[in-house]
Amino acid sequence: MHEVHLDSWLREFGPRGSERLEAESIAQVLDLLESRYPRLRYKLRDETGELRRYVRVFVDGKDVSATTGVATRLTGDRTIDFLHSIAGG
């Protein structure tokens, strides 16, 4: 079982605390989150299913956003953090 956390901005659209999910990849985690919390759809991924430019995903503290991204395989119990950075000036 994986423990999933969303940052404070994303919590407005999804679980307020942590969510425990069973999944084999980050893509499956996102599918499950979006099915449980429809307001999350298109907040983390774009229309092609890839992570949005300003979304970072950490698996056990390691940023996988720019490497394996949604294709990241998950084995064992993992902690997954989704962070959404805000752009502006």
Q: What is the pLDDT of residues 27-63, one digit of tens each?
A: 999 999 999 999 999 999 999 999 999 999 999 999 9
34 assigned to some structural domain: yes
CA dihedral 48, 51, 52, 54 (to 10 degrees): -170
pLDDT in tens, 4-15: 999 999 999 999
Contact 7, 15 (CB under 8 A): no
Mean pLDDT, rounded, for 70-88: 91
Residue ranges of alpha helices (H) inside the chain are 26-36
Domain count for the chain, please give it. Answer: 1
**At residue 11, what is the residue type?**
R
Q: In this model, does residue 86 exceed pLDDT 80? A: no
Residue 89 lies in a domain: no
Name the residue range of residue 52's domain.
2-84
pTM of the model: 0.92
CATH number at residue 64: 3.10.20.30
Neighbours of 21 (CB within 10 A): 18
Per-residue confidence at 87, pLDDT binned at 50, 70, 90?
Answer: low
Sign of CA dihedral 73, 53, 86, 45: negative
- The answer as to whether 8 is a domain residue is yes
